[in-house]
Amino acid sequence: MHARAPAAGRARTRGPAAVTWGLVLGLGLAAAVGLSLAVGTKGIPLATVLDALTAFDPGNTEHLIVSERRVPRTLAGLLVGAALGLAGALIQGLTRNPLADPGIFGVNAGAALFVVLGIAVFGVSSLAGYVWFGFLGAAAASVVVYTIGSMGRGGASPLKLALTGAALTAALTSLISAVLLTDPAVHDRFRFWQVGTLAGRDLEIVGQALPFLVVGIVGALLLGKVLNGLSLGDDVARAFGRNTTTDRVLCGAAVVVLAGAATALAGPITFLGLAVPHLARMLAGPDYRRILPLSLLIGPVLLLLADVLGRVVARPGEVQAGVVTALLGAPVLVLLVRRRKPASL
């Protein structure tokens, strides 16, 4: 009893700390939005950005840049970052694996395969078309993973889902490579989407993904208590009256909607879903009722800053956000693996 008291005290102190960090991250998000609107190949003063938002002048070139290019790009970054951050927290809680990311359900590979097929078979050449094919592919791959992972004794265990997702990803990646090798024209159109970027997304494309992302975000924020139960293990969760099968389906559906829509909108953005939950856990402790709201804020902050960094380092060109997150995320993954005890991997 005495040994548990300090731990309980530390848990109680996490609440105010999480609120404080939430306010700090809110300010950080506002700053990231400002940078995203102001920084680019052509720097625009914040005062001009505010004028473009509040008193738009169609004859002003800088106002046009802000309204037609940077506002949609920033909105896409906000939505995609929030979705991937939440999806990462959900999948780590669902599988009880701190090194899991949304790609474990085959989301990225499924979206990529359907985009390739859309280009090769149906002649899709617009980003709007990529969004729908990408979302359908992500959903289809996730359904296949969950269906196969649910077979046999024990149902959809975290280990079976992870292994099934890895196997399906390998198979789909091989199919993608086969299609691309036989048709160089398809490869040329596919590679821009594949790198993962916020560039070129207008309000129409963002609007197509918006309903799915809003539903997924709201649904994910309501699953904190469910994830807390699953994190205790199936036996303990059932003892507390939880239906673990239903809980897993709800969490899995939220991951599919969030990661599928985000990947369809921006292409594969790697490492964000892996790193964001770890940062949220460092600030909020193990309670998913706090991890999820913080992940909602951390995700877009990191993605917008990565996008801004990509615009700055290669002026007058730019490095795509997916490349920046991969370059920064690889060392983070190595650090996470090194911090884990060998027996827990």
Give the residue-averaged pLDDT of 8-15: 54
CB-CB contact of 137 with 112 (8 Å) = yes
Burial of 190 (0-12, 13-18, 19+ CB in 10 A): buried
Residue 343 pLDDT greater than 70, yes or no: no
Residue 5 pLDDT greater than 50, yes or no: no
Give the residue-averaged pLDDT of 15-44: 91
What is the predicted pLDDT for the residue at 95?
84
Residue 173 pLDDT greater than 50, yes or no: yes
Task: Give the gyration radius of the chain's Cα atoms.
Answer: 21
What is the predicted pLDDT for the residue at 270?
85
Residue 220 pLDDT greater than 80, yes or no: yes
What is the predicted pLDDT for the residue at 77?
97
CB-CB contact of 258 with 213 (8 Å) = yes
CATH code for the part of the protein at 15-322:
1.10.3470.10
Give the residue-averaged pLDDT of 186-207: 86
Sequence-distant (6+) residues with CB within 8 A of 200 are 127
pLDDT digits (tens, 9 = 90+) for 231-285: 887 778 788 778 888 888 899 899 989 998 998 899 889 889 989 999 999 898 8
CB-CB contact of 297 with 307 (8 Å) = no
Most confident of 91-95, 159-163, 168-172: 168-172
> Mean of the per-residue pLDDT values for the chain?
86
Residue for token digits 């969004």?
A: 131
Cβ neighbours, 10 Å, residue 99: 16
Buried b or exposed e, range 151-181, using 16+ CB within 10 angstroms: eeeeebbbebbbebbeebbeebeeebeebbe
What is the predicted pLDDT for the residue at 15?
67
Minimum mean pLDDT range among 51-60, 116-125, 152-161, 305-314: 152-161
Task: Using a pLDDT cut of 70, give the percent of the chain over it.
Answer: 92
What is the predicted pLDDT for the residue at 342?
47
Alpha-carbon distance of 221 to 290, in angstroms, equals: 9
Q: Which residue has the higher pLDDT, 151 or 81?
A: 81
Alpha helices in 267-316 (DSSP H): 272-284, 288-313
Task: Using a pLDDT cut of 90, give the percent of the chain over it.
Answer: 48
Alpha helices in the chain (DSSP H): 4-38, 46-54, 61-65, 71-95, 107-122, 127-149, 158-182, 184-194, 203-221, 224-231, 234-239, 244-266, 272-284, 288-313, 321-339
Sequence-distant (6+) residues with CB within 8 A of 301 are 25, 28, 29, 32, 81
Give the residue-averaged pLDDT of 290-298: 96
Alpha-carbon distance of 83 to 175, in angstroms, equals: 27
pLDDT digits (tens, 9 = 90+) for 308-335: 999 999 888 889 999 999 888 778 777 7
Dihedral angle sign, alpha carbons of residues 129, 133, 136, 139: negative
Q: How far is CA 93 from CA 80, 112, 272, 320, in A?
A: 20, 25, 16, 30
What is the predicted pLDDT for the residue at 344?
45
Residue 203 pLDDT greater than 70, yes or no: yes
The model's confidence at residue 171, banded by pLDDT at 50, 70 and 90, is very high
Most confident of 161-170, 263-272, 299-308: 299-308
Give the domain ranges of the chain: 15-322
Most confident of 30-39, 188-197, 265-274, 327-336: 30-39
CB-CB contact of 41 with 311 (8 Å) = yes
pLDDT digits (tens, 9 = 90+) for 93-145: 988 888 788 887 788 899 899 999 998 998 888 878 888 898 899 889 988 98
Task: Write out the two tokens for 7.
Answer: 């731990």
In the chain, the N- to C-terminal Cα span, in Å, equals 30
**SS3 labels along 14-42:** HHHHHHHHHHHHHHHHHHHHHHHHHCCCC
